[in-house]
């Protein structure tokens, strides 16, 4: 499953949708605190894709020694600005800053990363809002590659609030209708649990945790985990062995990562629609 190709398709479709809507100034604001190089790269990529999607990009950059009050003030200003439709605070923040306090200043309508308590509550209650971009990207890949979900057995390995828990909710939603099992590092006999699944989403952050032994022939395997090793970036899935038995599989990198950015752009346009009423 080629996440880069699907990302580019979704962004092109979004650009056409924005044009058909009269090319409104849909604005994504990004907030970067400090000089962390990977964070700078991530934010730069998101801003570039926003322009490709015909969205406006606004960027706020604060020094590494910015105070909690300064960061909160910058986010509160964006939250109050009617010209800003989506707000993304790049994590992690520098040591000493309270990320939860910062994120909770973002109104749920503008929380296009889907990370705040109120956004998670809306997801649980199936109310209008924004789902976290990475699990939403997994759903878009399943849709694009026509992986059946209704009645399918799905296993999500990993229970983070960023991916694992919202992924369970999205797969179990009415209309998707998968039967979902949440597994993790302390699950007994993980091999048997996974081998019964039609869909595996690996999001535990443990390098090459999922091997061919875990995968039923023909199952769809989506790798969300990222580990940095001496050999470079690897995922939770042992790609070389698993691709021999899986019916569909995402590479790492190049699979679910690009989809996260595509869904951020979709969430931003949806935020504009919600705020427009």
pLDDT of amino acid 277: 80
Residue 114, helix vs strand vs coil? coil
Is residue 153 annotated as part of the catalytic site, yes or no? Answer: no
- pLDDT, tens digit, 9 for 90 and up, residues 117-141: 999 999 999 999 999 999 999 999 9
- pLDDT, tens digit, 9 for 90 and up, residues 183-238: 998 999 999 999 999 999 999 999 999 999 999 999 999 999 998 888 788 999 99
Is-contact 11 46, C-beta < 8 A? no
Q: Which residues on neighbouring strands pair with residue 83, listed in sequence order?
A: none
Percentage of the chain beyond pLDDT 70 is 100
- Is it the case that residue 105 has pLDDT exceeding 80? yes
pLDDT of amino acid 27: 98
pTM of the model: 0.94
Residue 218 neighbours by CB under 8 Å, 6+ apart: 245, 246, 247
In the chain, domain spans: 10-110, 133-254
> How far apart (Å, rounded) are the C-alpha atoms in residues 257 and 277?
31
Task: Given the residues 49, 90, 111, 167, select the one marked as catalytic.
Answer: 90
The CATH architecture to which 10-110 belongs is 3-Layer(aba) Sandwich (3.40)
Q: What tokens were used for 259?
A: 């989809």
CATH class, domain 133-254, is alpha beta
Task: Given the residues 46, 110, 167, 266, select the one marked as catalytic.
Answer: 46
Is residue 46 annotated as part of the catalytic site, yes or no? Answer: yes
pLDDT of amino acid 228: 83
- Is it the case that residue 25 has pLDDT exceeding 80? yes
Is residue 49 annotated as part of the catalytic site, yes or no? Answer: no
Task: Given the residues 49, 110, 111, 113, select the one marked as catalytic.
Answer: 113
């Amino acid at each position: 499953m080629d996440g880069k190709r699907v990302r580019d398709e979704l962004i092109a479709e979004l650009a056409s949708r924005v044009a058909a809507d009269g090319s409104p100034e849909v604005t994504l604001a990004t907030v970067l605190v400090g000089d962390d190089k990977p964070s700078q790269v991530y934010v730069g990529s998101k801003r570039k894709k926003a322009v490709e999607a015909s969205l406006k990009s606004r960027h706020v950059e604060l020094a590494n020694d910015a105070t909690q009050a300064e960061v909160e003030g910058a986010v509160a200003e964006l939250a109050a600005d009617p010209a800003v439709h989506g707000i993304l605070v790049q994590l992690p923040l520098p040591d000493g800053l309270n990320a939860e306090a910062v994120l909770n200043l973002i109104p749920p309508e503008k929380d296009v990363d889907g990370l705040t308590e109120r956004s998670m509550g809306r997801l649980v209650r199936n109310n209008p809002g924004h789902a976290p971009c990475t699990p939403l990207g997994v759903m878009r890949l399943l849709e694009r590659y026509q992986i059946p979900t209704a009645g399918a057995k799905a296993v999500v390995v990993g229970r983070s609030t960023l991916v694992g828990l919202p992924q369970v909710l999205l797969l179990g939603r009415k209309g998707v209708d998968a039967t979902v099992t949440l597994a993790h590092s302390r699950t007994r006999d993980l091999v048997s649990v996974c081998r019964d699944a039609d869909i595996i989403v690996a999001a535990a952050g443990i390098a090459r945790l999922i091997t061919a032994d875990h995968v039923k022939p023909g199952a769809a395997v989506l790798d969300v985990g990222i580990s940095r090793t001496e050999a470079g970036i690897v995922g939770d899935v042992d790609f070389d062995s698993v691709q021999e038995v899986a019916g569909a599989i995402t590479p790492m990198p190049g699979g679910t990562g690009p989809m996260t950015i595509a869904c951020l752009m979709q969430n931003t346009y949806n935020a504009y629609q919600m705020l427009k009423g």
